[in-house]
Amino acid sequence: MNSFFTRRYIIQGLFIVTALVLLARLFYIQVIDDRYKLSADNNVLRKLIIYPARGIILDRNEKVLVQNEPVYDLMIIPKQVKPFDTIEFCRLIDITKKEFDKKYKKANNYSPYRASLFEKQLSAKTYAAFQEKQFQFPGFYVLARSVRYYPDSTAAQFLGYIGEVNDKEIEKYDGFYTQGDYIGKSGIEKSYEDLLRGQRGVRNIMVDVHNREQGSFFEGKYDTLAVAGDKLISSLDKELQLYGEQLMNNKIGSVVAIEPATGEILAFVSSPKYDPNLMVGRQRGNNYMKLLKDPFKPMFIRPTQAEYPPGSIFKVINALVAQQMGAITAQTTFHCPGGYRYGARGFMGCTHVHGTIALEKSIEGSCNTYYGYAYNRMIDKTGLKPFKAYTRWREAVMKFGIGAELGIDLPAERDGLIPTADYFTKRWGSNKWGSGFNISLSIGQGELGITPLQMANVMAIVANRGFYYKPHLIKAIGDKKIIKEEYTIKNSAGIDAKYFEPVIEGMSRVVNAPGGTGYFSKIADIEICGKTGTVQNPHGADHSVFVAFAPRQNPKIAIAVVVENAGFGSTWSAPIASLMIEKYLRDSITRPKYYTERILKANLLPGQKKVIRPGVKKDSTNSKPATSNALPVNAQISSKKDEQ
């Protein structure tokens, strides 16, 4: 009897255990493990992501800079793949068998049951050929999307490019993006990603066992529509941008043009340029590596990331700051014997023996001596200790938008550089230093660093007689043409308007007076106010620099041009700026053909022969480089043929 009951309990126990195991397995399959559900759903239901059209980008006159064109991503669900002709498949989408095996293995490792990207960006032509035979390849389907197209192949560094998201970006955006999605990687595409990307939609469709669509699920009741990204109206003038890129062909440097009244950037040239269409399509990766390896660094955004000593164009700032501080007036004169002497034996050479010279003439003739004396008064003769006076001078200069980001709507803008007083105190071992220890700052050399964008913004300040709007590249957003409030705020440079006139008069003489250093760049009936500069470069030939605004009254354009390793500002940068100004103000060029051809045909890349055609006024000098054994060593300045 006992044995009977024992066997009964054992049998009942086995049934109970078996039932529990089965229930646990069912729970795991139905609740925890979604493989079977996915498999079943995928046999009859497929969720297709509808990618929105990315917002287009227009120029200031609403001409297209960037638009979209259709491409097709080939997706795979490995578990649904059945044996098929892989050779034919590879032929249709133009890949090798080895590439096929690699891609299939990657997709299977990701998930046998989930859809993943197999081959991206099939062209419309490739997709059409594949679509005819798609039923032969179960487990594969196509997602339509769009990629960027640049009809004029212009402004690559400004516009930027898009690329596939990486793990860091997926994490940053809290799962908004998934593997295979595209995101702005640089330029405007990155800065305005949230507006350009739009909102994705979902389409639920029924498919049969042969992977053929059978219609919408529940007549589209659970579908969502994609919302296109906002269009952006940029501040660029496309025709001016294209002309600037032509002028800078075979040259390294930048052209930045700003509308002073708004801060809108009219031209943003970084040279050498590259075709932005190279960053689109299935060869994007190969093209990207080639651009990275290019010795002239076309992907480097020079207008905002290159820093140069400003050279003689910095005299404009020192002339204004010195007046504001009361160190000089428009009538203040200094005697120039061909250089500025400081300390026991220190000597900073000048471009000429100017004799007794006043403020306006010091700008016109770019007199180093004048600014050596003016800087001495601002640092050594204020009643403050020199290091404190230097801090006051530095703060005044920084109000011109130098030494800190201007806040342009592009990523990775550089600050520029104006050393602090502590920098020199540490360098010289005490704070008992004076103007002779950094006298090179008086003429824009030494430790200073300024970006071309900052140079152009300084000209906008001078054009406006004392203020600027934050430089920006996007003029308006969306169909409502929304303007960001931060671009409507005036920023003061801290200089009274009355101090600008003598400086502007000197700048006008630079271009319009027969003896001016930029006279070769004069335009009939357009009064350009400018300043040439030849910037010392410790790594090679000097840089050619020119800054200007025009016309003098009611200015419409402020511009900065830097041509690296090109020498005199008057020879290369000034003519380029002059042509850009005329193009913008007149929409045509009236100069003789030889004038423009000289610029367009010149090859100024390092290692290339420079050609100066007849009729060009060469720079000249009446002084020889001067040297000194006096301390401090860093303040010994050789006389450069600055902008003659």
Tens-digit pLDDT profile for residues 334-343? 999 999 999 8
Residue 307 pLDDT more than 60? Answer: yes
Confidence at residue 124, expressed as pLDDT on a 0 to 100 scale: 86
| pLDDT (tens digit per residue) in 570-614 | 999 999 999 999 999 999 999 999 999 999 999 999 876 555 443
**275 shares a domain with 222:** no
Task: Enter the pTM of the model.
Answer: 0.84
| pLDDT one-digit tens code per residue, 467-506 | 999 999 999 999 999 999 999 999 999 999 999 999 999 9
Question: What are the helix (H) ranges across 28-145?
Answer: 35-44, 86-93, 97-110, 124-131
Averaged pLDDT for residues 149-178: 90
Residue 281 has pLDDT above 90, yes or no: no
**Where residue 370 sits, what CATH number does that domain have?**
3.40.710.10
Alpha-carbon gap, residue 566 to 207, rounded angstroms:
65
Together in a domain, 101 and 143: yes
343-391 residue pLDDT tens: 878 899 998 899 999 999 999 999 999 999 999 999 999 999 999 999 9
What pLDDT digit, counting tens, does each position of 310-326 carry? 999 999 999 999 999 99
- Selection from 100, 72, 80 nearest residue 88 by Cα: 100
Task: Say yes or no: 212 and 354 in one domain.
Answer: no
Does one domain contain both 630 and 521? yes
Asked if residue 57 belongs to a domain, the reply is yes
- For the chain, the domain total comes to 2
For range 247-254, the mean pLDDT: 96
Phi, psi of 92 (to 5 degrees): -65, -40
Residues 201 and 309 in one domain: no
Task: Pick 515 or 474 by higher pLDDT.
Answer: 474
Q: Are 557 and 543 in contact (CB under 8 A)?
A: no
Q: Are residues 548 and 467 in the same domain?
A: yes
Grade residue 627 by pLDDT with cuts at 50, 70 and 90: very low
Answer yes or no: do 200 and 247 share one domain: no
Report the distance separating Cα 218 and Cα 44, nearest Å.
12
Give me Rg for the CA atoms of the chain: 33
C-alpha distance from residue 131 to each of 76, 77, 124 (Å): 15, 17, 10
Same domain assignment for residues 185 and 269: no
| Whole-number pLDDT of residue 175 | 77
pLDDT at 291 over 50: yes
Is there a domain that residue 535 lies in?
Answer: yes
- 244 with 599: CB under 8 angstroms? no
Answer yes or no: do 359 and 422 share one domain.
Answer: yes
Range of the domain at 184: 46-234
Residues 463 and 432 in one domain: yes
Q: What is the structure's pLDDT at 285?
A: 86
Residue 644 lies in a domain: no
Which of these three, 234, 262, 280, is where a domain ends? 234
How high is the mean pLDDT of the chain? 87
* pLDDT (0 to 100) of residue 614: 36
Domain-located, residue 12: no
